[in-house]
Structure 1
Amino acid sequence: MPSSSTDASLGQMLWRQTWPMAIGVLALLGFQLVDSAFVARLGTAPLAAQSFTFPLTFLIIGVQVGLGIAIAALISRALGAGETARARCLGSLVLMVGSVILALLAFVLWWSQAAIFSRLGADEATRELIRDYWAPQLLAAWLGAVLYFFYSLFRAHGDTRLPGKIMVITSLFNLLLDPLLIFGVGPWAGLGLPGAAWATAIAFASGLLLVAKRLRQNDWLARDGLRRELAGSARPFVGIAGPAMVSQLMPPLASMLAISVVASLGESSVAAWGLASRLETLALVVVLALTMSLPPWLGRCYGAGDWAQVRQLVRLALRIVVGWQLTLGLLLALLSPWASQLLAGSPDVRDDLTLLIRFLLPSYAALGVCMLVVSAGNALGWPLRAMLMSTARLFLCYLPFLWLGASLGGLPGLAMGAAFGNVLAGVVAWQLMRRMLARRETGADTESKLLPRERT
């Protein structure tokens, strides 16, 4: 059993790795929530239009996070095994390949927007609002994805401070641009809803300039040997990135199905659901920071074969997640009327948002457990199990109870069903992680042996 002093030492190390990412993610998600609050001042219709785009924006984020997981896992494993030359080649390859993949995805989403949004339940007037907003929003999403790949490269090398700082800088820049581009200044009337997307695009572009300047000071990229490295690392990269992307794509797909259910409840419910989605990511800031800072550390332990420290790190991270999220969720549930008043403009939207906060926010303690288990599974050579866990969370736990609750009780039933699904998923994920670690320590695990840790 680990001593309390060992736990304290690991806790300090985990804190040093996590707090810069937590501040950065808090700033990034905070500006997104404020962005939606600004849009809410334009009216319920623009806010509902923006809410319909969230599942597709999450789709892009899912692909970028899946690729980022593979970046961090492979590079950190190579560094843990002392293969610095290989780590440089991997860094160059994943930056180039990831940027191209996300550009192609953004083009497909722009080209097929009419069919997608009509199937999600957006009427003609809402689709007209989306049409002007969607192109700059896709540009912003692509710039954000490329910036995230750079963040993943820094995290794989153990640097979480720079990504955290740049997240804060870009978020502040976005907050300054939002009111200017949305509402205008002086005689200029502003761009309305598209102004929110342009503000984000400009902020992310500035972040790319900053991180590229810093990257030139580090010897983390290579120009030679890329073709050879691509041939040797394509299989393990796909073995991690494929299941990881599928895992990350499940939430956007579930979000599309969820918003189609919410759309049947009315425009104010859609608007409230969009604000609740923004608030969800902000409330999960510590979990998201841990899913960024913990996997590279776990990957290095994996490369070194130190499974005792893996167990200690996972247990410590899970305790932090449950304690923090439960406290925060209960506090926000108590303050839900004031939070809704601050975020929403319409009284109907405020009432619906208050209801969603009260039921959903406390359940994020269990949701955080599931997210951390999926992230750790990808880093520890269990991408297939992580993918299955992510799929089960959404399609066996979350969506069925959400749909059943909405069918039986409208928006209150939907909120209760979604909360119950989160709790159920958290319990299942914890049991799965316990079994995976036990099987690995007894030598009974087989999946992690399918993915080569290093290339000889």
Structure 2
Amino acid sequence: MNSLDDSRTSLGLTLWRQTWPMAIGVLALLGFQLVDSAFIARLGTAPLAAQSFTFPLSFLVIGVQVGMGIAIAAMISRALGAGESARARRLGSLVLLVGTITIALLVVLLWAIQGPVFALLGADEATRELIRAYWAPQLLAAWLGAVLYFGYSLFRAHGDTWLPGKMMVITSLVNLVLDPLLIFGIGPWSGLGLPGAAWATSIAFATGLLVLGRRLEGMEWLAAEGLLAELRRSLAPFAGIAGPAMISQLMPPLAAMLAISVVASLGEAQVAAWGLASRLETLSLMVVLAMTMSLPPWLGRCYGAGDWDQIHRLMRLALKVVVVWQLSLGGLMALASPWVALAISGNPEVRNDLATLIRFLLPSYAALGVCMVVVSAGNALGWPLRAMLMSAARLFVFYLPCLWAGTWLGDLLGLAMGAALGNLLAGLAAWQVLRRILASPRRQPVTMERPIS
């Protein structure tokens, strides 16, 4: 019994050491996004609503980069677990090149289609004018952030979560210093207003890329030879992981577009409150997001080595941590919702709506966190198609129908209750799916060439 207790303690300590640097980094990164919104809120309700309309398309870029990052971490960690270090180096070079080009093409497309898309989301002409000045530097920031994220994925695949966590803190501090200067100005200079927030983020991410590039120079994680042959060999396995993973990550932006179109029917103040609540959502999920970054490479190495007993123990521990943490944080935030809303919004109408959203949404993120961890584990363990289907069910079977029904029944209060119910149902469904999958894991594929069962 003592041996079992020692094993659990060791596993918990290892999970803590892998996760806490990423948790601090995610907290800093998401914190500066919330700071952006808080500063923009001081400009008025219209600029805040304009920024809120851009979130779904910004999440589209993030969805593609995270999907590719999942494939990066999964394939490189599996190669390392199987003792294929030369292949891991070739994969590292390929994914950085392909990822950088892919995101560049995507942001150019998003710039070209901005007019009809924002009109379709419900932004009026005055709001679209505000968005137009903000969108170019925001897309630049999105591209720089994506390239930086691919670098983080390379470090995580090699088991180094410390440097990505530290770099997230550094870029967040740079952004925090630049935000008020570029948004509001200094002395006689009046500042850039809403676009200043995007330029601050661009400069912060560029700083992070310079530091990360210098660190990669001293690592033997990249290769310059054999890339074409490796591309031919790995394209199908990479697509088998990255394709479903990207679709999984692209579904939340699509759902966000549909959700904000529903919220837009309630009014401009409600859109602004929903945008702030979205920032709070990602911030409150910092531990879950950190775990979805630190856990998959570890699971991938276990997968490559065929160690399913360790996979079982890791998943049980991770889900316990998620549920306990999110319920505790959600309960506290719900109790403090009036003061939290007061701290980040100066408009009384926006503040009251935001407090309502916090009371219902924050506690429901315990169930949402379970679903997120299960999806990330599915991508790491060779079940990307099931993970994609699980993401689709979360959004389009549970979340959006409950959101629409709640809005129809009771405006913003009904919307908040419906969204919370959707999260709860999605978490319960993900837990049931995971139990069935892990009941007979040895029937699942263990080779990199057949990632989809």
TM-score range, shorter chain: over 0.9
Aligned match of 1:61: 62
Aligned match of 1:50: 51
Aligned match of 1:91: 92
> CA-to-partner distance for each residue in 1:120-148, whole Å, 9 max, x for gaps?
00000000000000000000000000000
AA paired with 2:270?
Answer: S
The reply on whether 1:264 has 2:261 as its aligned counterpart is no
> CA-to-partner distance for each residue in 1:129-172, whole Å, 9 max, x for gaps?
00000000000000000000000000000100000111000000
In 2: Cα distance, 1:404 partner to 1:127 partner: 29
AA paired with 2:288?
Answer: V
The reply on whether 1:433 has 2:430 as its aligned counterpart is no
In 1: Cα distance, 2:280 partner to 2:327 partner: 15
> CA-to-partner distance for each residue in 1:106-126, whole Å, 9 max, x for gaps?
000000000100000000000
In 2: Cα distance, 1:187 partner to 1:159 partner: 45
Aligned match of 1:72: 73
In 1: Cα distance, 2:375 partner to 2:11 partner: 21
Aligned match of 1:452: 449
In 2: Cα distance, 1:8 partner to 1:409 partner: 47
SS at match of 1:3: helix
In 1: Cα distance, 2:446 partner to 2:204 partner: 42
AA paired with 1:191?
Answer: L
Aligned match of 2:243: 242
In 1: Cα distance, 2:40 partner to 2:139 partner: 17
Aligned match of 2:227: 226
- Unaligned 5+ runs, structure 2: none
> CA-to-partner distance for each residue in 1:412-445, whole Å, 9 max, x for gaps?
000000000000000000110111111214x3x4
TM-score normalised to structure 1 length: 0.97
1:2-401 aligned at under 5 Å gives the runs 3-401=4-402
Post-superposition offset of 1:451 = 5.2
2:272–2:350 Cα contact (<8 Å) kept: yes
Post-superposition offset of 1:6 = 1.5
> CA-to-partner distance for each residue in 1:324-358, whole Å, 9 max, x for gaps?
00000000000000000000111000000000000
1:303–1:453 Cα contact (<8 Å) kept: no
1:239–1:451 Cα contact (<8 Å) kept: no
Post-superposition offset of 1:449 = 6.0
AA paired with 1:326?
Answer: L
> CA-to-partner distance for each residue in 1:260-314, whole Å, 9 max, x for gaps?
0000000000000000000000000000000000000000000000000000000
In 1: Cα distance, 2:395 partner to 2:428 partner: 14
AA paired with 1:214?
Answer: R
AA paired with 1:278?
Answer: R
In 1: Cα distance, 2:107 partner to 2:228 partner: 26
In 1: Cα distance, 2:449 partner to 2:75 partner: 10
> CA-to-partner distance for each residue in 1:362-382, whole Å, 9 max, x for gaps?
000000000000000000000
2:74–2:296 Cα contact (<8 Å) kept: yes
2:303–2:446 Cα contact (<8 Å) kept: no
AA paired with 2:396?
Answer: F
AA paired with 2:326?
Answer: Q
2:75–2:448 Cα contact (<8 Å) kept: no
Post-superposition offset of 1:453 = 6.4
Structure 1 runs of 4+ off > 4 angstroms?
none
Q: Report how many residues are paired.
A: 450
In 2: Cα distance, 1:3 partner to 1:322 partner: 23
SS at match of 1:82: coil
In 1: Cα distance, 2:400 partner to 2:382 partner: 28
1:62–1:249 Cα contact (<8 Å) kept: yes
TM-score normalised to structure 2 length: 0.98
AA paired with 2:136?
Answer: A
In 2: Cα distance, 1:210 partner to 1:407 partner: 50
SS at match of 2:266: coil
AA paired with 1:164?
Answer: G
Q: CA RMSD in A?
A: 1.1
2:32–2:175 Cα contact (<8 Å) kept: yes
Post-superposition offset of 1:3 = 2.3
In 1: Cα distance, 2:5 partner to 2:49 partner: 50
In 2: Cα distance, 1:33 partner to 1:79 partner: 37
Post-superposition offset of 1:8 = 1.1
1:322–1:368 Cα contact (<8 Å) kept: yes
In 2: Cα distance, 1:103 partner to 1:174 partner: 22
1:77–1:453 Cα contact (<8 Å) kept: no
In 2: Cα distance, 1:235 partner to 1:453 partner: 9
In 2: Cα distance, 1:140 partner to 1:361 partner: 28
- Identical counterparts, % of pairs: 74
In 2: Cα distance, 1:213 partner to 1:15 partner: 28
AA paired with 2:419?
Answer: A
Post-superposition offset of 1:4 = 2.5
Post-superposition offset of 1:98 = 0.4
- Unaligned 5+ runs, structure 1: none
Post-superposition offset of 1:452 = 2.0
SS at match of 2:440: helix
2:304–2:446 Cα contact (<8 Å) kept: no
